[in-house]
Amino acid sequence: MIAEWEGVLLDATRRVHLRVAELARSGEGTRTVGVGAAGDRTILADKVAEDELVDALSGFKDVRVLSEEAGALGKGDASVLAVIDPLDGSSNFGRRIPFYCTSVAMVEGESVGDITFGIVRDLVTGDVYTARRGEGATKNGRRIRTSGASSAREAVVGIDLSRSTSKAAAALVPLLSGVKRQVHLGANALEICYVADGRFDSFVDARGKIRVTDFAAAYLIAVEAGARVTDAEGKELSPRFDLEQRYSVVASANETLHKQILELCAGRGGGKVRVR
- In the chain, where are the structural domains located? 2-143, 152-266
pLDDT for 274 beyond 50: no
Q: Candidates 3.30.540.10, 3.40.50.10190, 3.40.309.10, 3.40.50.620; correct CATH number of 2-143? A: 3.30.540.10
State residue 272's pLDDT score: 40
Grouping H, G, I as helix, E, B as strand and the rest as coil, residue 3 is: helix
Q: Tell me the pTM.
A: 0.94
- What would the mean pLDDT of 175-188 be, rounded to a whole number? 95
State residue 35's pLDDT score: 86
State residue 165's pLDDT score: 76
pLDDT for 47 beyond 90: yes
Cα(25)–Cα(98) distance, rounded to whole angstroms?
Answer: 12
Q: What is the pLDDT of residues 53-77, one digit of tens each?
A: 999 999 998 999 999 888 999 988 8
Cα(226)–Cα(214) distance, rounded to whole angstroms?
Answer: 20
Tell me the β-bridge partners of 138: 130, 143
As its CATH architecture, domain 152-266 has 3-Layer(aba) Sandwich (3.40)
- What would the mean pLDDT of 92-109 be, rounded to a whole number? 96
Q: What is the DSSP letter of 64?
A: E
What residues contact residue 83 under an 8 Å CB cut-off, 6+ apart? 66, 104, 105, 106, 107, 115, 212, 213, 216, 217, 241
